[in-house]
Structure 1
Amino acid sequence: MSLTDTDRLSPRITPAGHLLAAPDVEAPALPDDVALGAAFARGAGHGLLYLGSGTIGRALPPAWAWWRDLGARYVTALCTTAEGGEIAVVHPDPAELGALIEDAPPMTGAEYLTPDVLAALWGEIDGALRDELAATGESLQAFLRSRHPAWNLVGRVHFNLAENRKDPEAPFAFLATYAARLSAHGKTQHQPLSRALEEFSGARNKAQLLSLLMPVQRAAEHCDWLRAMVESREIYHPLRWMPADAFRLLSDLPALESAGIRVRLPATWAAGRPARPAVRASVGTQSPSLLGREALLDFRMEVSLDGESLSPAEIRTLLEGADGLQWIRGRWIEVDTKKLGRLLQRFESLEKTAQAGLPLNDALRLLAGVTGDEGDGFGERDWAQVVAGDWLAQTLQQLREPEGLAQVDPGPDLKAQLRPYQQAGVRWLYLLNRLGLGACLADDMGLGKTMQVLSLLLIFKRDLAGPRPSLLVAPASLLANWAAEAERFAPGLRVLVAHPSMTPADELRALDSARLAQTDLVITSFGSLLRQPVLETMQWRVAIVDEAQAIKNPGARQTKQVKKLQAQSRIALTGTPVENRLSDQWSIFDFTHPGLLGSAKEFGGLTRRLAKMEHFGPLRNLVRPYILRRLKTDRRVIADLPEKTELKAWCHLSPVQAALYERAVKDLAAALDGTEGIERKGIVLSYLMRFKQICNHPSQWLGDAAWQPEASGKFARLRELVDVIAAKQEKVLVFTQFRETTEPLAAHLGALFGREGLILHGGTPVGKRRELVRQFQEDESVPFFVLSLKAGGAGLNLTAASHVIHFDRWWNPAVENQATDRAFRIGQRRNVLVHKFICRGTVEDRIDQLIEAKQQLVKDVLEGGAELLLTEMSDRELLDLVRLDIHSAQEN
């Protein structure tokens, strides 16, 4: 599907910082006359220029409306160019771009948004404008007028309001001016609007005069007071105004500005308009007596003006006065008596209710400006202010900047050296646990979330009185990884894997609270959690969910079961961006911080209001302290990373694979009986190949061409990995030693990524290989490259990949490393993750154990070719090597 033939597009920021309009069947439909696809097909600059100049006033989905704002800012700056003058648009300040990013709605790749990325896109808009101007041959003003009638008028007419304290009867002055020209120094020179009648007199200049006055005429259609001024021609003269006149102009600012009129207000009005009295509340000044969700925080309110408290008498005066501008404390302030009275009543009621303390979740929502009522917070943000008191402000600051937290260290109990960012992560997790609050550790894959959690558990074991076990729930495919990491790096932890692949069934049936209390960490799968009711009854120190995207569906049975767990605090681990989809974020936070985001229904109403207002900053502020996400692309992190990280991806066998494997073992035993010499060697080699094929996929051995994804444990593990890789928009190389596996793998990966990738094997023409490499390296839309190990294992430079997957093992570390180095070479600026697929309980598992043990067998057999010694094993040794451990091999 091309960009130009779909009305369902979503913005996507790539890891390289490029903006794409990606087809998305789940995206809201765009208006029929919004040709976004065609514009973005020419490039991001053209797409943003089209958004910012041609879709003004159109209802767009939140993400596209946000990008339109960036485009519109460029066009607004463009409109200050004098007619016939040279185009020179000043780049926005990085702080301004940072504030814009803070309010960005969820979208794919939002984690890659930085001020530098927006600045680069600003430059692309500028380039697109110049290209399109050159192609049309039009003047800038004509070009802008063709996009939207108001654009070439923006900034031309100004309404100027000034205070006139020397005239108590009419304390304001009004004057309409126009930007006549630019001075030699590039300054806009203003003239009274009356001068336009003289400058553009005569029939020849009538069109220019009409063009200049068009925004005034347009605004007059919506502003009765302005229409009266135009009809009476008062618009061309300086005017003495009463406070009510000035307030009418303030009230109609949106209508004036949308018509193309610039309004300049008194310089003493610091925020661009007069100060407003605000109902100000502070929450959390003192440390609460209880921590966790049950914490009750102190709450105090006042009415203030620019941070200074107003007396009860002053408040009464304001409420008894008229709406509009009132004079108080030597200056004009803006007052809405109904709104101020309503907010005052609401906060007084809240203060009364919170006499015993305000619940933590309520306090945090108030602080972020995220409330349950449609009338709360949003339209009245300028009239109400909630600030964190000393204790809460300090706590939130520590959570947002964990690098500055006090040191907590697992010490020698951890048999590894934590990297600085991992140390910060452990301190952050420890603080949240001490506060009784949950956490979402969302570091990129490969940054050591496992190590940080193990460090936290070691600290608990050493420092906390009355040790209590913790529970970790993970996909079944990751249980072996967790157990191995705990044994290697935290051998002092008492670990129990409550899963039939690693613990006998009779022991699992006998599990009770007394046995669980003797452990430090219980590890189980989502499926086993459903079958072990005793796990639900325990009071855990901390309940941890790995690959937390598994609980993104709140209606799923496993999600509901996980959320029943009782724990002092809860931790969600995920490598995928948690802010890309609001529904996913709600479900994860409903586990880590129940009630913080309200019910699913309340959250749905909240997000609809946020989308309507194109204002997502409050929600981001609410959850930010409880999400720690470090990216591999972060310069502060990547400088501290190893060049490549090797991970074992344990896979289970499907029932079909297990049955075929067991049958193959029996067939091998029968075939070996009585054979010797060359015939025996041939049998051994053929069966070793059969075991590998069965571990890959039943169809590879059966030759039935079915290749159903659910029939292979490796295909299922591939799906789990790709869920994270695709969400991060990273690229992956997949190596297999079998040519016949490349196309089924590519078909499976294409379905997972939603985009096609590339294939290279021994049958690929030599002349085509260079083009495939170029395409993978340069085309950001190509997500994967499937290669046969012999054809793609040497001579290729594929540094665009962040991941390397060895789908099946060559059983020769030197050959595998050579293939890995296609991605990890000179020119690679990414941390490369290498995933080695191994089926548990099979010959793949036992050969891997030999490689890990670095026994002489590895050197003699594997590096020299498996046939050198495997064929020389006795029947008993060989059958022991290939036998199936059914409990380890199957996912239960």
Structure 2
Amino acid sequence: MLLEIIITPAGQLRVVDADESVPEIPVAAGERLVAAFEESTAGGLIELASPGLGETLPASLVFWRGFSRWFFQAVCQLGENGFAQWSTLPAPAVGELEERVAAAPPMRGLEYLDVRLLTELWGALRDQVVTRAQAHRQGPASYLETVNPLWHLLGRVTFHLAENKRDAARPFAFLATYTHKISGQAKLQHLPMAEALKMYAGTKDLAKLESLLEPVKRAADRSPLVRGLLSSKALFAPQAWTIPEAYRFLKEVPLMEEAGLVVRVPDWWRSRRAARPQVQVRLGSRPAATIGQEGLLDFDVQLALDDETLDPSEMQELLAASDGLALLRGRWIEVDRAQLKQALTHWKKLEQEHTGGIDFITGMRLLAGAPIGGDDAVSSSLSDWSRITAGDWLTRTLEQLRRPETIESFQPGRDLQATLRHYQVDGVRWLWFMTRLGLGACLADDMGLGKTIQIIDLLLQRQRDRSADAKTTGQNAINLLIVPASLLGNWKQELARFGPSLKVRYAHRSETDDDSLRRLAADPVRELQGVDLVVSSYSLVRRQEWLTKVAWGLVILDEAQAIKNSGSAQTKAVKKLPAQGRIVLTGTPVENHLGDLWSLFDFCNPGLLGTAAQFKGFVKELNRRQDADAYGGLRRLVRPYILRRMKTDPTIVPDLPEKTEMRAECGLSKKQAVLYGKAVAELEQRLQQADGMARRGLVLSTLMQLKQICNHPAQYLQADAFPPAESSKFARLELLCEPIAQRQEKVLVFTQFQSITEPLAEFLATVFRRPGLVLHGGTAVKKRQELVREFQADGGPPFFVISLKAGGSGLNLTAASHVVHFDRWWNPAVENQATDRAFRIGQKRNVMVHKFVCRGTVEERIDEMIRDKQATADKILNQDNETLLTEMSDKELLKFVALDISRATADD
């Protein structure tokens, strides 16, 4: 089975079919895992800790298996305190949990993973384990063995290594014990292994002795040292060990623990190694000589112990010492002369080759521990004996990127015709700081948090800088904004509203006539004199070669998931745009899919993640390691370049409006435009012969037909198939719902036509990869509440397609955070009533309302009247007076329904 684990917005873990090729899990084991998670998240984590799934798992399963086994290892380490302490086992320290979060691999719902969730899951796991252990017939210790045979307490063998400061020649002592029984104080009692020989030999209970020695024998198969202890019977007596003997034991501890032995070692080896002298490489102590990804970071190389530089005599002493353990400054440290010399030689050579510093990209990879494109074996060896740290300047810079509220040198909002919310202020500060540094930025805020207004304020600041210090900052270049054609109208409206001082040109047929576009292409330098911003669409970048000839200041991509397919012609064209700085905007969690992440970063920070082949090889190596912390380096590498805030953040929730309405513009496909034009022409012809009631009926039926054509040609033609490519509204719906699906949010889709509800549901099922629900006039009354309960449930269907009249009242659908009006009702009050199905008492989400409008059609005229002339709209479009539309003159009516072919068919 191909499975992966996702995190739901409610903080539950679910096992779902994997979206891409991942390691396969045996069917029986996979079915057990699915069933366990369906019962509860804690039950699923317990099942995940068992060995039955195999050792090669998808990355998301590896991460959660590591978390579950982390918990069980903590339980097993409570041996001295016994079962009474299980129910109060605290979650690990916040710092440790933060490290787990930072090392998580890509998975759906990764944005919902935080310290709070891990703490809650630890508690749920603890409660479930305690309940099951109490109910187990043979007691808690036996229960642990049912989860994993390696986990047991009673009868478990423990190896102890301790310092023996009274013997300089043999400064370590070894002892093997076993847990004999639980005392009256609920503590495990240890006895030397020699006592086990006496006890079981005396009772002739060889079976128990064999059982006790089973983990020792497994360890002997793995560890030569244990094999020697067992064959020589030294295991059954205390041993005094030399430094090399103790070091050999310490290096083989992981092999012993894998076999089921408990190993107790001195505190200084708790992390499976002693302190080490390391080659300390410090990057960026001084400001970079130049900014950007090509900027050079100074670095120096020293030999240090715990950040304290070693003096020359100490260095000589270490490099001359024997391998293993050595006493330095009164403490035991680990020494490997060959590895230490190799690391020192490597970094000193690099220092000599790059006397001016190393480039920013290489420095960030080193700092993150993500050797993309490098020799993994060499890099791993070096990382063990090297420590890369940020110098003073780089530390301050990275801290400002992590906490933009600390950037005090810039005050946003001075020229903006609006008041920024506090998180938007931080966002503009971050964007400004990133672009001043010459670094690419990814603003990945949730939909509805105002990415548009943050960009407008940044552009206003650049306009101010352009006049103030253009010569020194190089910010005299024009900025370019690339958006899906369906969002051009939204951007035009927001730019005019919030940044009216910006001089903007629209390189698109929907907003600019053909003659002006031809002049712009012929001589962009002259045409763009004094312009602050050019706005165009993704499809035009591919065809308008002049866009690649201009040296842009910033190139900004809205809905940047449009370039996630790195091999498409559109993506390749966009990546050719020359720019001083690059910004990508997306509402989709970018770290959830590695292919998308690489393509976005290949645009905004080219080279940081290597070539596509290098990145693929790097990820393959991460997966091969089957390590729960494997992705930590990659996450650390990209984190400074991504700013993502979520609507669920407690610091943001109070600032959110209860409801946000926006117009979603759509064009017409060629087939739609042809049918629309024919319908208008037929209306014009028939109006000449119609009058009275016949004319009234003709007008109403034509208006209905035009709305059907705007929805999909198949609806108007009453065809069975609804090819998505034939409707721009279907394309717009897909663009809107992809990030909603990624965030596992829910959406209501309203239409006034029952005939299109099923085709919409079938199409949305391909977007969400899950079926949804449909409600229309033909739905039985009894079934309506069942559908509502199903939609409202956590993990329930992600979308609900509803005919407007059937769903206009009586339904409470607060699980939805998005409402789509696929076609416009003549009366806005009816739309608002439908919207209120999601925005009801009990709604805890900010509801986004998207009203679809086809440019250059009757839908746009209706929308304009509703928005700009509400009084007239109420009079003309009131539900009771809808037929007043028929009383327009022929000339007025034909103008009202006419097709603006340039606006309607401008490339999406």
TM range (shorter): over 0.9
Question: Counterparts of 1:518 and 1:645 in 2: how far apart (Å)?
Answer: 34
Q: Which residue of 2 aligns with 1:63?
A: 60
Contact 2:564 2:600 (8 Å CA) reproduced: yes
Question: Counterparts of 1:854 and 1:546 in 2: how far apart (Å)?
Answer: 30
> Which of residues 864, 869, 883 is equivalent to 1:849?
864
The answer to whether 1:501 aligns with 2:501 is no
Question: Counterparts of 1:192 and 1:303 in 2: how far apart (Å)?
Answer: 43
Question: Counterparts of 1:875 and 1:185 in 2: how far apart (Å)?
Answer: 96
Contact 1:746 1:758 (8 Å CA) reproduced: yes
Q: Which residue of 2 aligns with 1:336?
A: 336
Q: Which residue of 1 aligns with 2:92?
A: 93
Question: Counterparts of 1:104 and 1:379 in 2: how far apart (Å)?
Answer: 23
Contact 1:36 1:51 (8 Å CA) reproduced: no
Contact 2:413 2:420 (8 Å CA) reproduced: no
Instruction: Report the Cα offset of residue 684 of structure 1.
Output: 1.2
SS of 2:841 mapped into structure 1? coil
Note closer, same or farther for the CA distance 1:473–1:720 as it changes in structure 2 (3 Å cut). Answer: same
Instruction: Report the Cα offset of residue 306 of structure 1.
Output: 1.5
Q: Which residue of 2 aligns with 1:367?
A: 367
Note closer, same or farther for the CA distance 1:169–1:136 as it changes in structure 2 (3 Å cut). Answer: closer
Contact 1:9 1:27 (8 Å CA) reproduced: no
Deviations, residues 377-429 of structure 1 (Å, cap 9, x unaligned): 43543321000000011000100111222163454531211111111000000
**One-letter amino acid of the counterpart of residue 438, structure 1:** G
Instruction: Report the Cα offset of residue 869 of structure 1.
Output: 2.5
Question: Counterparts of 2:596 and 2:541 in 1: how far apart (Å)?
Answer: 21
> Which of residues 421, 429, 432 is equivalent to 1:430?
432
* Root mean square deviation, CA, Å: 2.2
- Stretch of structure 1 that moved more, 92-101 or 694-703: 92-101
> Which of residues 639, 648, 668 is equivalent to 1:653?
668
Question: Counterparts of 1:396 and 1:733 in 2: how far apart (Å)?
Answer: 41
Structure 2 counterparts to residues 2-17 of structure 1, below 5 A: 7-17=1-11
Question: Counterparts of 2:154 and 2:867 in 1: how far apart (Å)?
Answer: 70
Note closer, same or farther for the CA distance 1:855–1:211 as it changes in structure 2 (3 Å cut). Answer: same
Question: Counterparts of 1:437 and 1:81 in 2: how far apart (Å)?
Answer: 49
Note closer, same or farther for the CA distance 1:127–1:55 as it changes in structure 2 (3 Å cut). Answer: farther
- Stretch of structure 1 that moved more, 334-343 or 711-720: 334-343
Q: Which runs of 5+ in 2 are unaligned?
A: 471-475
Instruction: Report the Cα offset of residue 661 of structure 1.
Output: 0.6
**One-letter amino acid of the counterpart of residue 390, structure 1:** D
Question: Counterparts of 1:212 and 1:814 in 2: how far apart (Å)?
Answer: 77
Question: Counterparts of 1:200 and 1:592 in 2: how far apart (Å)?
Answer: 69
Amino-acid identity (%): 49
Contact 2:3 2:58 (8 Å CA) reproduced: no
Deviations, residues 82-128 of structure 1 (Å, cap 9, x unaligned): 79956825142252332212111111111111233233333444455
> Which of residues 688, 697, 711 is equivalent to 1:673?
688
Q: Which residue of 2 aligns with 1:3?
A: none
- Stretch of structure 1 that moved more, 821-830 or 673-682: 673-682
Question: Counterparts of 2:289 and 2:69 in 1: how far apart (Å)?
Answer: 50
Contact 1:469 1:521 (8 Å CA) reproduced: yes
Q: Structure 1 length normalisation: TM-score?
A: 0.95
Question: Counterparts of 2:688 and 2:567 in 1: how far apart (Å)?
Answer: 55
- Stretch of structure 1 that moved more, 426-435 or 527-536: 527-536
Note closer, same or farther for the CA distance 1:154–1:439 as it changes in structure 2 (3 Å cut). Answer: farther
Contact 1:265 1:272 (8 Å CA) reproduced: no
Contact 2:680 2:894 (8 Å CA) reproduced: yes
Question: Counterparts of 1:360 and 1:240 in 2: how far apart (Å)?
Answer: 52
Q: Which residue of 2 aligns with 1:389?
A: 391
Note closer, same or farther for the CA distance 1:865–1:404 as it changes in structure 2 (3 Å cut). Answer: farther
Q: Which residue of 2 aligns with 1:477?
A: 486
Q: Which residue of 1 aligns with 2:17?
A: 23
SS of 1:472 mapped into structure 2? strand
The answer to whether 1:701 aligns with 2:695 is no
Question: Counterparts of 1:866 and 1:716 in 2: how far apart (Å)?
Answer: 33
Q: Which residue of 1 aligns with 2:473?
A: none
**One-letter amino acid of the counterpart of residue 489, structure 1:** F
**One-letter amino acid of the counterpart of residue 766, structure 1:** V
Question: Counterparts of 2:565 and 2:104 in 1: how far apart (Å)?
Answer: 24
Note closer, same or farther for the CA distance 1:176–1:400 as it changes in structure 2 (3 Å cut). Answer: same
> Which of residues 790, 811, 831 is equivalent to 1:775?
790
The answer to whether 1:803 aligns with 2:818 is yes
Question: Counterparts of 1:298 and 1:55 in 2: how far apart (Å)?
Answer: 50
Contact 2:456 2:499 (8 Å CA) reproduced: yes
Question: Counterparts of 1:476 and 1:866 in 2: how far apart (Å)?
Answer: 35
The answer to whether 1:234 aligns with 2:246 is no
Instruction: Report the Cα offset of residue 866 of structure 1.
Output: 5.5
**One-letter amino acid of the counterpart of residue 320, structure 1:** A
Q: Structure 2 length normalisation: TM-score?
A: 0.94
Question: Counterparts of 2:324 and 2:54 in 1: how far apart (Å)?
Answer: 29
Contact 2:816 2:847 (8 Å CA) reproduced: yes
- Stretch of structure 1 that moved more, 746-755 or 424-433: 746-755
SS of 2:267 mapped into structure 1? coil
Instruction: Report the Cα offset of residue 874 of structure 1.
Output: 1.1
SS of 2:758 mapped into structure 1? helix
> Which of residues 560, 566, 569 is equivalent to 2:581?
569
Question: Counterparts of 1:844 and 1:155 in 2: how far apart (Å)?
Answer: 78
> Which of residues 848, 851, 872 is equivalent to 2:887?
872
Question: Counterparts of 2:191 and 2:64 in 1: how far apart (Å)?
Answer: 35
The answer to whether 1:74 aligns with 2:71 is yes
Question: Counterparts of 1:86 and 1:332 in 2: how far apart (Å)?
Answer: 36
Question: Counterparts of 1:690 and 1:538 in 2: how far apart (Å)?
Answer: 45
**One-letter amino acid of the counterpart of residue 40, structure 1:** V
Contact 1:62 1:612 (8 Å CA) reproduced: no
Note closer, same or farther for the CA distance 1:633–1:199 as it changes in structure 2 (3 Å cut). Answer: farther
Q: Which residue of 2 aligns with 1:4?
A: none
The answer to whether 1:540 aligns with 2:539 is no
Contact 1:291 1:435 (8 Å CA) reproduced: yes
SS of 1:791 mapped into structure 2? coil
Note closer, same or farther for the CA distance 1:79–1:162 as it changes in structure 2 (3 Å cut). Answer: closer
Contact 1:501 1:887 (8 Å CA) reproduced: yes
Q: Which residue of 2 aligns with 1:743?
A: 758
Structure 2 counterparts to residues 816-855 of structure 1, below 5 A: 816-855=831-870
Instruction: Report the Cα offset of residue 324 of structure 1.
Output: 1.0
Question: Counterparts of 2:898 and 2:528 in 1: how far apart (Å)?
Answer: 32
The answer to whether 1:590 aligns with 2:589 is no
Instruction: Report the Cα offset of residue 232 of structure 1.
Output: 2.7
Contact 2:82 2:182 (8 Å CA) reproduced: no
Question: Counterparts of 1:34 and 1:126 in 2: how far apart (Å)?
Answer: 26
- Stretch of structure 1 that moved more, 737-746 or 319-328: 319-328
**One-letter amino acid of the counterpart of residue 446, structure 2:** D
- Stretch of structure 1 that moved more, 466-475 or 565-574: 466-475
Deviations, residues 458-486 of structure 1 (Å, cap 9, x unaligned): 01101333432100111111111111111
- Stretch of structure 1 that moved more, 259-268 or 870-879: 259-268
SS of 1:645 mapped into structure 2? strand
Instruction: Report the Cα offset of residue 55 of structure 1.
Output: 3.9
Note closer, same or farther for the CA distance 1:611–1:629 as it changes in structure 2 (3 Å cut). Answer: same
Note closer, same or farther for the CA distance 1:289–1:80 as it changes in structure 2 (3 Å cut). Answer: closer
Q: Which residue of 1 aligns with 2:314?
A: 314
Instruction: Report the Cα offset of residue 18 of structure 1.
Output: 1.1
Question: Counterparts of 1:9 and 1:411 in 2: how far apart (Å)?
Answer: 47
Question: Counterparts of 2:806 and 2:226 in 1: how far apart (Å)?
Answer: 76
Q: Which residue of 2 aligns with 1:685?
A: 700
Contact 1:414 1:458 (8 Å CA) reproduced: yes
The answer to whether 1:252 aligns with 2:252 is yes
Q: Which residue of 2 aligns with 1:453?
A: 455
Structure 2 counterparts to residues 43-58 of structure 1, below 5 A: 43=37, 44-55=41-52, 58=55
Question: Counterparts of 2:129 and 2:268 in 1: how far apart (Å)?
Answer: 37
Question: Counterparts of 1:382 and 1:456 in 2: how far apart (Å)?
Answer: 43
Contact 1:155 1:261 (8 Å CA) reproduced: no
Instruction: Report the Cα offset of residue 313 of structure 1.
Output: 3.5
Question: Counterparts of 1:575 and 1:154 in 2: how far apart (Å)?
Answer: 53
Contact 1:40 1:46 (8 Å CA) reproduced: no
Contact 1:812 1:865 (8 Å CA) reproduced: no
Instruction: Report the Cα offset of residue 229 of structure 1.
Output: 1.9
Instruction: Report the Cα offset of residue 169 of structure 1.
Output: 1.2
Q: Which residue of 2 aligns with 1:35?
A: 29
Instruction: Report the Cα offset of residue 259 of structure 1.
Output: 1.1
Instruction: Report the Cα offset of residue 140 of structure 1.
Output: 4.1
- Stretch of structure 1 that moved more, 839-848 or 289-298: 289-298
